[in-house]
């Protein structure tokens, strides 16, 4: 057992309301006595518990140590008898009773704690600390009525201590009497207290009650007031300060949270959890550069913190600095090569930048470490699709489906089926492609790209034109000014021989995407159908200019030129 010293009041453990402070290490007060008892190889140390002024000091100390030895042997009854003697011999020492209660709590022997504390309050009926301890012990032993009585007595003696208020709250919750629980908190809010933990715990329980039933939701301003009051008391306990700062950070008082986190970090530079919260608070304020600076200083001192490199990389991604993001993902992988996320994020950055060969090389290296990763195969599929190697794309996407079905079914979402449908369509598998696009739309009915792709696919083939129009209109409902979607709708009208309507939609599409060769080709075909061959030629020529390697388009231009020339040539004389 560690040395005992001066302790804070009870009632502040995170998991309950009995704060047991056996681990507190304070210097021994002048005049204290250190005694070590050894039993079967185990030593028990007692420091500064009993005063020399006690006439029965030696005898009380002997009973205390003997009780510990009994307890270590599982002899709880004998231990309790010894400790009762200590309470009798030195009744003014609440610290000792606290330690004894701690031992019983640790062992789950709440009834014995109750028994000891009943003796204590009989000897010292005006001891608020003993009544608080008794209320907590009775609560733990599920003696709710007696716990309530003890808590009321403790509140009368010390209204500014929170544990008895919490006992009343818990007793009401146990009876599912939320109105009474609310009353207990309102009563606590009216009490004078100079303890920062009092106001923090009051705020936490008020929020918890509101989460249980919105009818009892606390006024946000009142909760903020509790935390503000705790902050003005300048908590010395780092854990209390963190709780205040966390509330500020979560409730749009980020500037105050930052000030507290910075203060804690200045006090303890090794507080890594606080450092992370400080960085993310700067992110919440829109200052990603400051957050990155904090994290970069951290990894300079600790270059093996691969998780922090990942966070820095994500922040650089958010700031659109993709080269710095790639650099940090590489550093993360150097520190810990056996992780998948930074490889995938790097591959995605490379794919978006159309650095396809680098992306595929990175995926090759990643696959060697994670040969059964469906995410790796998925990214291969995307990379090969971008490279227009649709056979390889299809092979890898189909392998993705096989692996993900067993290990990552969430990967098989609407976007996946869209990619698979596109690869199937580009490899000439029309019916299978339609099936996958329908699956994507079934998963996400508002998936505009899938609706448009399938509608355009039908239009190109001249089939299901009514359904095609419905699909593209669904896409336009999501993105009304999307030029590609307008082009699809216009092309469907063309297939339905609704040429004037088709022209309107294609002109809107061209205004949205002025230099798209497909849109100009479609405009050329529509003008031709309307008999305006001059406009048709202009648009087909523009399409050919935008796509100079398209021999089919060049052929259309030449054919239309010949047609126009033949129409304008004078008839031969007989």
Using the 3D structure, point to which of 157, 192, 226 is the last residue of a domain.
157
Using the 3D structure, point to which of 157, 192, 217 is the last residue of a domain.
157
CB 82 within 8 A of CB 66: yes
Mean pLDDT, rounded, for 42-71: 59
pLDDT at position 92 is 64
pLDDT in tens, 119-176: 888 888 998 888 998 999 899 889 999 999 999 999 999 999 999 999 999 999 999 9
> Is residue 322 included in any domain, yes or no?
no
Q: What percent of the chain has pLDDT above 90?
A: 71
- Exposed / middle / buried, residue 57 (Cβ in 10 Å: 0-12, 13-18, 19+): middle
> Is residue 210 included in any domain, yes or no?
no
3-state class of 108 per DSSP?
A: coil
> Is residue 132 included in any domain, yes or no?
yes
pLDDT at position 81 is 78
Mean pLDDT, rounded, for 292-308: 93
**Which secondary-structure segment (H or E) carries 45?**
strand 42-47
Structural domain harbouring 70: 1-157
Of the given ranges (70-79, 319-328, 432-441, 477-486), which has the lowest mean pLDDT? 70-79
Does the pLDDT at position 35 exceed 50? no
> Is residue 507 included in any domain, yes or no?
no
Mean pLDDT, rounded, for 522-546: 95
The CATH number for 12's domain is 1.25.40.10
Q: Count up the domains in the chain and report the number.
A: 2
> Is residue 48 included in any domain, yes or no?
yes
pLDDT at position 91 is 63
- The Cα–Cα gap between 168 and 266 comes to 39
- Exposed / middle / buried, residue 407 (Cβ in 10 Å: 0-12, 13-18, 19+): exposed
Q: Give buried/exposed letters for 233-249 (b at 16+ CB in 10 A, else e).
A: bebeeeebbbbbbbbbb
- The Cα–Cα gap between 379 and 415 comes to 12
Does the pLDDT at position 265 exceed 60? yes
pLDDT at position 224 is 94
pLDDT at position 94 is 66
pLDDT in tens, 192-236: 899 999 999 999 999 999 999 999 988 899 999 999 999 998 888
> Is residue 560 included in any domain, yes or no?
yes
> Is residue 519 included in any domain, yes or no?
yes
> Is residue 10 included in any domain, yes or no?
yes
pLDDT at position 67 is 79
pLDDT at position 105 is 83
Does the pLDDT at position 26 exceed 60? no
pLDDT in tens, 393-423: 999 999 999 999 999 999 999 999 999 999 9
Residues 6+ apart with CB under 8 A from 9: 19, 129, 132, 161, 163, 195
Using the 3D structure, point to which of 157, 185, 204 is the last residue of a domain.
157
**Which secondary-structure segment (H or E) carries 37?**
strand 34-39
CB 273 within 8 A of CB 298: no
- The Cα–Cα gap between 200 and 246 comes to 11
DSSP bridge pairs for 37: 44
- The Cα–Cα gap between 373 and 274 comes to 34
3-state class of 36 per DSSP?
A: strand
When the pLDDT of each residue in the chain is averaged and rounded to a whole number, the result is 86
- The Cα–Cα gap between 179 and 215 comes to 10
């Amino acid at each position: 057992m560690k040395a005992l010293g001066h302790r804070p009041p009870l009632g502040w453990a995170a998991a309950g309301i009995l704060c047991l402070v056996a681990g507190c290490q304070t210097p021994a007060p002048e005049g204290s006595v250190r005694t070590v008892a050894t039993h079967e190889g185990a030593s028990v140390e007692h420091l500064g518990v009993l005063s020399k002024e006690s006439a029965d000091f030696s005898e009380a100390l002997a009973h205390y140590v003997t009780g510990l030895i009994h307890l270590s042997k599982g002899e709880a009854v004998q231990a309790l008898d010894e400790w009762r003697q200590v309470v009798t011999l030195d009744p003014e020492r609440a610290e000792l009773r606290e330690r004894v209660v701690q031992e019983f709590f640790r062992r789950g022997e709440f009834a014995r704690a109750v028994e000891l504390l009943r003796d204590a309050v009989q000897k010292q009926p005006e001891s608020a600390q003993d009544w608080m301890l008794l209320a907590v012990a009775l609560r733990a032993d599920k003696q709710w009525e007696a716990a309530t009585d003890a808590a009321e007595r403790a509140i009368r003696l010390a209204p500014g201590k929170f544990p008895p208020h919490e006992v009343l709250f818990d007793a009401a919750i146990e009876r599912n009497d939320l109105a009474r629980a609310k009353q207990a908190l309102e009563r606590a809010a009216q009490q004078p207290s100079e303890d920062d933990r009092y106001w923090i715990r009051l705020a936490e329980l008020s929020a918890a009650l509101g989460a249980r039933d919105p009818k009892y939701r606390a006024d946000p301003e009142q909760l903020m007031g509790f935390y503000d009051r705790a902050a003005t008391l300048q908590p010395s306990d780092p854990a209390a300060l963190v709780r205040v700062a966390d509330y500020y950070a979560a409730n749009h008082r980020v500037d105050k949270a930052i000030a507290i986190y910075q203060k804690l970090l200045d006090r303890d530079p090794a507080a890594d959890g606080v450092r992370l919260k400080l960085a993310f608070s700067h992110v919440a304020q829109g200052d990603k550069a400051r957050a990155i600076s904090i994290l970069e200083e951290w990894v300079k001192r600790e270059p093996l913190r691969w998780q922090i490199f990942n966070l820095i990389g994500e922040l650089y991604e958010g700031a659109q600095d993709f080269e710095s993001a790639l650099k940090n993902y590489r550093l993360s992988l150097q520190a810990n090569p056996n992780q998948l996320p930074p490889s995938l994020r790097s591959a995605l950055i490379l794919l978006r930048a159309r650095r396809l060969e680098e992306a595929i090389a990175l995926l090759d290296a990643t696959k060697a470490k994670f040969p059964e990763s469906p995410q790796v195969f998925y990214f291969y599929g995307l990379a090969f699709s971008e490279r227009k190697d649709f056979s390889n794309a299809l092979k890898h996407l189909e392998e993705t489906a096989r692996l993900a079905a067993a290990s990552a079914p969430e990967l098989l979402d609407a976007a996946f089926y869209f990619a698979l449908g596109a690869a199937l369509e580009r490899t000439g598998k029309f019916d299978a492609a339609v099936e996958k696009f329908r699956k994507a739309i079934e998963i996400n009915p508002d998936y505009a790209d899938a609706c448009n792709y399938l509608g355009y696919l039908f239009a190109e083939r001249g089939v299901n034109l009514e359904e095609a129009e419905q699909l593209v209109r669904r896409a336009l409902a999501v993105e009304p000014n999307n030029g590609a979607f307008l082009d699809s709708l216009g092309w469907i009208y063309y297939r339905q021989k609704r040429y004037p309507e088709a022209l309107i939609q294609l002109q809107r599409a061209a205004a949205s995407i002025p230099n798209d060769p497909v849109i100009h080709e479609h405009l050329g075909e529509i003008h031709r159908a309307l008999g305006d061959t001059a406009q048709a030629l202009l648009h087909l020529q523009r399409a050919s200019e935008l796509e100079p390697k398209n021999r089919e388009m060049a052929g259309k231009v030449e054919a239309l030129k010949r047609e126009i020339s033949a129409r304008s040539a004078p008839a031969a004389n007989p």
